[in-house]
Amino acid sequence: MGVYTKVGDKGRTAFFGCGMIQKDDPRIEALGAVDELNSVIGLTLSMVQDKELQDVLTKIQHDLFQVGADLAGSALEKKALPRITAAHIQEVEQAIDRIEERIGVPTKFILPGGTQASALLHLCRATTRRSERELVKAKGVIEINSDLMIYVNRLSDFFFMLARQANNEKDVKDQQPIYKYFDGKKGGLK
């Protein structure tokens, strides 16, 4: 069997345990968003040099395959496929807590960016948020493991803290947005 199967040529695809469905079905959109997130993490991995961060990102990539299996197998018996569990959530929460202990929590909004690693980790965060929104839509069609939803929500927080940590390690300060038009003064691009 080759890479192409021609099954999807008419806009339909197989969803594990549910048969053939449209490619714009919320379940497929959610799987696609998780796949996109995994790809953005892969891009980030190719650009960062820090070994500890690489190990963390690689672990998350593996966990995201478990997210996909959990989502795709939502109609199957609970023990049929690997599932996201409270242990996944706890692991991410503990990692967030460790970073928070070192660098604190921002009291204001911050701009994504700074170092290359931080900018890429913010892209991971934003892509995680989109994955979460797609999972919420899919939840309207299928029952989704509540631990999966919590894990993805925590994962975006973790990427936020990893981005801040990447800047902190290079002594790059968080930048707050400037609200030029808030006080009625005119501003603009120069």
Q: What three-state secondary structure class fits 2?
A: coil
Q: What was the pLDDT predicted at 14?
A: 67
Q: What is the model's pLDDT at position 190? A: 59
- Return the pLDDT at 82: 83
DSSP assignments along 104-163, one per residue: ---SS---S-SSHHHHHHHHHHHHHHHHHHHHHHHHTTS---HHHHHHHHHHHHHHHHHH
Q: Which helix (H) or strand (E) holds 73?
A: none
What does the pLDDT look like over 37-65, one tens digit per residue? 999 999 999 999 999 999 999 999 999 99
pLDDT along the chain (190 residues), means of 10: 75 68 84 97 96 97 94 71 93 97 93 97 98 96 93 98 97 90 60
Q: Report pLDDT for 73.
A: 77
Q: What's the pLDDT at 189?
A: 61
| Domains identified in the chain and CATH numbers | 11-169 (1.20.1200.10)
Give the per-residue pLDDT at 17. 61
pLDDT at residue 185, rounded to an integer: 58
Beta bridge partners of 13: 21
User: What predicted TM-score, i.e. pTM, was given to this entire model?
Assistant: 0.89
What Cα–Cα distance (Å) separates residue 143 from each residue in 44, 52, 80, 149, 156? 32, 35, 15, 11, 22
